[in-house]
Amino acid sequence: MSVTPFTSDRDERPRSRELFRAELPFLSPGFQNVALLAELVLDRGEGRYLYDVDGHRYLDFMAGIGVCSLGYSHPAWVAAMTDQIRKLTVGSFATVNRGRFLRRLAEVAPGDLSQTMLYSGGAEAVEAAVRLAKSYTKKFEVLAFWGGFHGKTGGVLGLMGSTFKHGWGPLHPGLYLTPYAYCERCAFNLSYPGCGLHCLEFAREVIRLNTTGSLAAILVEPIQGTAGNVVPPPEFLPGVQEICREHGALLIADEMLTGFGRTGRLFGCEHDGVVPDVITIGKGMGSGFPVSGLISTPGIMRAEPYSKPSAASSSYGGNPLAGTAAWITLETLLNDNIVANAARVGDYLLRRLLELREKYPFIGRVQGKGLMIGVEFVRHRERDKTLLPGKVMEQVFKESLRRGLLSMNYTAQYRINPPLTLTEAEAEEGVGILDEVCAWLARQSHL
């Protein structure tokens, strides 16, 4: 069969390529993979689309890795931020918008989680949550999960359940890992539900035999993002909470990705009826502005030394711009029913991806909640679940980009996290491009 190669005018990106190459010698090579692979120089964003400096348009299925929840240049966000920039941008003094945000968040957060501390990055917030747990419990050990990702700074590196930490030892002491309920690739080779959630029993043994009996917290993502948007069974999070209670440890839900509507509920833990002791928040929370934080109960927040004046704060945490970004994002998510949109369009997209799976045997697990969807690319979903190699997936990514879709399909544990304002028509456009790319992949016997 002769195949006409796909050609795209996006292959011609003279300004992008020139500017990208001019910057490259001055950029550390450890920069974010997707930006290095794409070789794009972006000019602007509008809604769910990005435009490069050559004028090409890209549908965005990654939103800055789950960050741009409202979509690009959202008018309400732009107006609020512009107004705040004109007035005041620096300092930790109370501002009108920050106060609005903190009150609104306390109203809508689960249980009696009503006090918030603000930071700028995700790892910083997770480290702070661990310090809070140590302050409250007067214990010092933390358990997290294989596949988990909580940031790259020293205090949390040991809580990262992947090979990413190789070469950066020794790690902070007192940090332990145990398998997550990643049922598709069960660490124990068991099948749900027959397994009776053996991973939870195993976690109990890890705590009993690996720790010194001083567990301050268990840190868990309600859906594991970096691992590939892996959704555990509904009993998993409640089971983790039960283990916390058995040990007088705090449950810290890292909702950096699952929070602020991404999963079709305001917080991911709501799907499982769990109220954690601490929730770490960030990414989509400011729809692009670097703001993160943690929310907990007044009783836990009172714990010292975390609660001593200046003991938990940071230079930029909760500055006027961060407060405004968080306030306008939350207000818009709630008032414009964007969380419900994420649930509805997410269901649609998941169904369409499951249909796509029927056509291509190399599509394995397709799973998700709201607009947080994982798709695995494997050799053959019935015969060999080995993930497709990175080199092949990088080609898949480039083929998508040429067709106008910017997405994280450069790894076989592909995750889809578009802006939460995605429409059904845009979801369909993305599926259409993925279908074309899968058809291309099916023809590549040499890869």
Ligand X SMILES: Cc1ncc(COP(=O)(O)O)c(C=O)c1O
- The single residue listed with the structure tokens 């918008």 is 97
- Cα 265 from Cα 18, distance rounded (Å): 43
Work out how close the CB of 410 gets to ligand X at its nearest, in angstroms, rounded to a whole number: 16
- Consecutive H or E run containing 219: strand 215-220
Which phi-psi region, left, alpha or beta, contains residue 229 (left: φ > 0; alpha: ψ -120 to 50)?
left
- Nearer residue to ligand X within complex by CB, 199 or 285: 285
Residue type, 126: V
Ordered DSSP codes for 108-157: HSSTT--EEEEESSHHHHHHHHHHHHHHHHS--EEEEETT----SSHHHH
- Consecutive H or E run containing 372: strand 372-380
- Nearer residue to ligand X within complex by CB, 81 or 128: 128
Question: How many residues can be counted in the chain?
Answer: 447
Work out how close the CB of 279 gets to ligand X at its nearest, in angstroms, rounded to a whole number: 11
Work out how close the CB of 151 gets to ligand X at its nearest, in angstroms, rounded to a whole number: 4
- Cα 244 from Cα 215, distance rounded (Å): 8
Contact present, 227 and 412 (Cβ < 8 Å)? no
Closest CA to 441 of 378, 369, 383, 373: 378
Work out how close the CB of 22 gets to ligand X at its nearest, in angstroms, rounded to a whole number: 27
Tell me which residues touch ligand X (CB under 6 A): 121-123, 126, 149-151, 221, 225-226, 254, 256-257, 282
Work out how close the CB of 83 gets to ligand X at its nearest, in angstroms, rounded to a whole number: 26
Work out how close the CB of 2 gets to ligand X at its nearest, in angstroms, rounded to a whole number: 44
Q: Which two tokens stand for residue 29?
A: 């090579």
- In the bound state, the residue with its beta carbon closest to ligand X is 122
- Nearer residue to ligand X within complex by CB, 52 or 221: 221
- Nearer residue to ligand X within complex by CB, 226 or 395: 226
- Nearer residue to ligand X within complex by CB, 316 or 440: 316
In degrees rounded to 5, what are phi and psi of residue 375?
-135, 125
Work out how close the CB of 318 gets to ligand X at its nearest, in angstroms, rounded to a whole number: 16
- Nearer residue to ligand X within complex by CB, 258 or 395: 258
Work out how close the CB of 372 gets to ligand X at its nearest, in angstroms, rounded to a whole number: 11
Closest CA to 182 of 376, 351, 343: 376
CB atoms within 10 A of CB 34: 17
Residue type, 84: Q
- Nearer residue to ligand X within complex by CB, 151 or 228: 151
Work out how close the CB of 244 gets to ligand X at its nearest, in angstroms, rounded to a whole number: 18
Work out how close the CB of 341 gets to ligand X at its nearest, in angstroms, rounded to a whole number: 22
- Nearer residue to ligand X within complex by CB, 126 or 378: 126
Contact present, 122 and 280 (Cβ < 8 Å)? yes
The CA-based diameter of the chain, rounded to the nearest angstrom, is 72
In degrees rounded to 5, what are phi and psi of residue 215?
-75, 120
Closest CA to 145 of 34, 239, 81: 239
- Nearer residue to ligand X within complex by CB, 225 or 239: 225
Ordered DSSP codes for 384-447: EEEEPPHHHHHHHHHHHHHTTEE-STTSSEEEE---TT--HHHHHHHHHHHHHHHHHHHT-TT-
- Nearer residue to ligand X within complex by CB, 102 or 123: 123
Work out how close the CB of 271 gets to ligand X at its nearest, in angstroms, rounded to a whole number: 16
- Nearer residue to ligand X within complex by CB, 121 or 374: 121
Contact present, 130 and 220 (Cβ < 8 Å)? no
